Amino acid sequence: MSWLKRLLPPRIKKDESAVRKSIPEGLWSKCPSCEAVLYRSDLEANQAVCPKCSHHLRLRARARLDLLLDADGREEIGASVVPIDPLKFKDSRKYTERLSSAKVDTEEEDALVVMSGSILAQPVVVACFEFEFLGGSMGSVVGERFIRGVKLAEEQRMPFICITASGGARMQEGLLSLMQMAKTTAGLTRLARRRLPFITVLTDPTMGGVSASFAFMGDVVLAEPGALVGFAGPRVIEQTVREKLPEGFQRAEFLLEKGAIDMIVDRREMRERIAVLIGMLTQQRAVEA
Amino acid sequence: MLRTAFLDFEKPIADLVEKIEQLRFVQDDPAVDISGEIARLEKKCQTLTRDLYAKLSPWQIAQVARHPQRPYTLDYAKSVFTDFQELHGDRAFADDHAIVGGLARFNGQSCVVIGHQKGRDTKEKIQRNFGMPRPEGYRKALRLMRLAEKFGLPVFTFVDTPGAYPGIGAEERGQSEAIGHNIYVMAELKVPIISTIIGEGGSGGALAIAVADQVLMLQYSTYSVISPEGCASILWKSAEKASTAAEAMGITADRLKELDLVDKIVPEPVGGAHRNHEEMAAALRRSLQESLRLVSGLSPEELVERRFERLMAYGRFKDRDAA
């Protein structure tokens, strides 16, 4: 690392425990799909993908960023943007209480973490949803952080990548949360104007307002195997149409079959695949290995 | 016009109307003159309606927004606009009857009209799928917006949907993509877009035709991220709490105006739009005229830039780094 780089603003060090935090405590872990009993350390080493059946377990946002980005030169964007309670919303609990306990549980202040950095030395901005924070729901903070990431990508001419995992809009912010669908999606028009690639990685689950805004607007839309992705939740659909849903409905494989996504990518190959795609979209010459 | 259907909370009005009708029946007998009494009761009925509607709860407003006799998009297409030419189909799969659209004239100026459409009778309700569009509906809307852009015509959209249809086929054909794509294109469409929430503004299914330079709401319409029933069943674990959820989410025109998410509230006739379609149409026409004037005369670049800045301003949060 050059002396000049050392003078740059604080950056996030590679967090060795990030993947670990996504996996429940204990020496053993059970795969929710094939029920194989696994060593926790094996699961960790395998990026939370079951070594027996390749089931992709859910991962925390920082773990995903950690797996995707090069170790050096990471910088978080929009962390100073934090939620308020614009409607003074209260159901069985106050929105402010839900926010504080989500903060305690996740060590995050809202459901989107945005970082600039690089993937195999190609500069990028990555926005990643934290599903553990109120179901990855999109409210004002998610929208604003997303846009700050887009703006940085636009200014510094970097591709923008979004990894989704969300139940949809944040009901506790009422219509303000619906408007985040328009805000985030509108931001993409600026990337397009500068011919900057926008890539989405749909992970389990991606539903409602996130699915029905920017998720399918990627220049390339990727998904992890088995990810549930759709507009309406399976339960709502079942109640509406009063029939049993077909096997694998709304799963990534179903979406690929229906022509909704470009490809399904194994998590363990995601980093390389994204690097290849952005290299081509930004017209970089291939380098002989 | 048909007899007005009364909502539950309108029972006092309904009782009074019934009494008046009974008296009218008696009046056919020339031996008694009770016209004075009828006039008195009719006045009382007006006052009662005005008083009742002056303090509706959000949940009651949601009932009015869903009133079966409320004017729908096609009513306005004929009453606010002239020479409406309906255009059909998404050119790929089907013609979705839950969204209608076409060319029309507004004060003589050509424009494009797009809106959700509910049905009046059972047969039409089913044909219109209760105003819940499938992807092909949104793609038809998108096609018409592109048409408007190509010929430099302003777009008027009318929102009245419980939400996009949550069905198997809709998911298979990309409901999410269809909605997201519309939002994207509306954000950069180079002609004025004016959206009016005329009844129910149900979530993403509403927003998919409501990204606009000016957003209007009829006085007793609602606009929300999820239906009060849906919100109640998720957060309160009971759809019975819809009224509480409606209160908490802030779904009414005045609350949304306070939050700067709506530009203008269009006043409705006493007792709601369904009681007087003509008066409602006249008020809407005036409001649309004002709104169109506000966004006319801008270059396409200025228009898109202003719309972009509007969209970027949506959201309430705290920035610790802000001075």
Q: What is the pLDDT of residues B133-170, one digit of tens each?
A: 999 999 999 999 999 999 999 999 999 999 999 999 99
Nearest residue, CB atoms, B204 vs list A80, A141, A209: A209
Which residue of chain B is at minimal alpha-carbon distance from A185? B184
pLDDT band at B3; cut points 50, 70, 90: confident
Provide the token pair at A212: 């029905």
Is the N-terminal amide bond of A205 cis, ω within 30° of 0? Answer: yes
**What residues of A are designated binding site?**
31, 34, 50, 53
- Alpha-carbon distance of A65 to A71, in angstroms, equals 10
Is the four-CA dihedral A84, A85, A87, A88 of positive or negative sign? Answer: negative
A279-288, Cβ contacts within 8 angstroms, sequence gap of 24 or more: A279/A122, A281/A159, A281/A197, A281/A219, A281/A220, A282/A122, A282/A159, A282/A197, A284/A122
Contact B304, B190 (CB under 8 A): yes
Helix (H, G, I), strand (E, B) or coil at A207: strand
Q: Tens digits of per-residue pLDDT, A12-57?
A: 444 556 788 787 777 888 899 999 999 888 898 999 999 999 999 9
Provide the token pair at B106: 């507004």
Q: According to the model, what pLDDT value does residue B34 have?
A: 83
B239-245, Cβ contacts within 8 angstroms, sequence gap of 24 or more: B242/B59, B242/B62, B243/B57, B243/B58, B243/B59, B245/A91
DSSP A156: T
Which residue of chain B is at minimal alpha-carbon distance from A146? B312
Nearest residue, CB atoms, B179 vs list A139, A212, A250: A212
Whether A89 sits inside 8 A of B248 (CB atoms) is yes
Least Cα distance to A121 among A70, A63, A196 occurs for A70
| Mutate: best of A185, A189, A214, A237, partner B, most B CBs <10 A | A185
What is the average pLDDT across A112-133?
98
Whether B224 sits inside 8 A of A174 (CB atoms) is yes
Q: Tens digits of per-residue pLDDT, B57-70?
A: 999 999 999 999 99
Is the four-CA dihedral B48, B51, B53, B58 of positive or negative sign? Answer: negative
Whether A87 sits inside 8 A of B187 (CB atoms) is no
**What residues of A are designated binding site for Zn(2+)?**
31, 34, 50, 53
Q: According to the model, what pLDDT value does residue A40 have?
A: 87
Provide the token pair at B181: 């794509």
Q: According to the model, what pLDDT value does residue A287 have?
A: 65
Which residue of chain A is at minimal alpha-carbon distance from B245? A91
Strand ranges inside chain B, DSSP E: 82-86, 99-106, 109-116, 155-161, 193-202, 214-218, 222-224, 264-266, 317-319
Q: According to the model, what pLDDT value does residue A13 have?
A: 46
pLDDT band at B212; cut points 50, 70, 90: very high
Task: For chain A, report the end-to-end CA distance as a whole number of angstroms.
Answer: 23
| Mutate: best of B225, B236, B258, B321, partner A, most A CBs <10 A | B225
- Alpha-carbon distance of A286 to A278, in angstroms, equals 12
What is the average pLDDT across B264-281?
97
Q: Which of A8-22, A121-135, B186-200, B216-230 has the lowest mean pLDDT?
A: A8-22
Is the four-CA dihedral B245, B247, B253, B257 of positive or negative sign? Answer: negative
Cβ neighbour number for residue A151 with a 10 Å cutoff = 18
Q: Which amino acid is at B219?
A: Q
What is the average pLDDT across A169-192?
97
Give B279→chain A minimum CA distance, Å: 29
Q: Which amino acid is at A196?
A: L
User: Mean pLDDT for chain A?
Assistant: 92
Strand ranges inside A130-233, DSSP E: 160-166, 198-207, 220-223, 229-230
Cβ neighbour number for residue B15 with a 10 Å cutoff = 13
Q: According to the model, what pLDDT value does residue A3 have?
A: 52
What is the average pLDDT across B38-48?
92
Total length of chain B: 323
Give B53→chain A minimum CA distance, Å: 24
What is the average pLDDT across A186-192?
98
Which helix (H) or strand (E) is A243 found in, with range? Answer: none
The residue written with tokens 């805000």 in the block is A183
Give B187→chain A minimum CA distance, Å: 5
The residue written with tokens 């029309």 in the block is B104
Phi-psi region of A107 (alpha: psi -120 to 50; beta: other; left: phi over 0): left
CA angle (B75, B47, B56) in 5-degree steps:
65
User: Mean pLDDT for chain B?
Assistant: 95
Whether A87 sits inside 8 A of B224 (CB atoms) is no
Helix axes B58-65, B228-235, angle to 10 degrees: 130
Q: According to the model, what pLDDT value does residue B97 have?
A: 98
- Is the pLDDT at B129 greater than 80? The verdict is yes
Contacts of A175 in chain B (CB under 8 A): 223-225, 249-251, 256, 259, 261
pLDDT band at B4; cut points 50, 70, 90: confident
What is the average pLDDT across B178-193?
98
Helix (H, G, I), strand (E, B) or coil at B178: helix
- What ipTM, to 2 d.p.? 0.95
pLDDT band at B268; cut points 50, 70, 90: very high
Residue A38: C-alpha distances to residues A47, A267, B128 (Å)? 13, 18, 52
Task: For chain B, report the end-to-end CA distance as a whole number of angstroms.
Answer: 60
- Is the pLDDT at A283 greater than 90? The verdict is no
Q: According to the model, what pLDDT value does residue A288 have?
A: 59
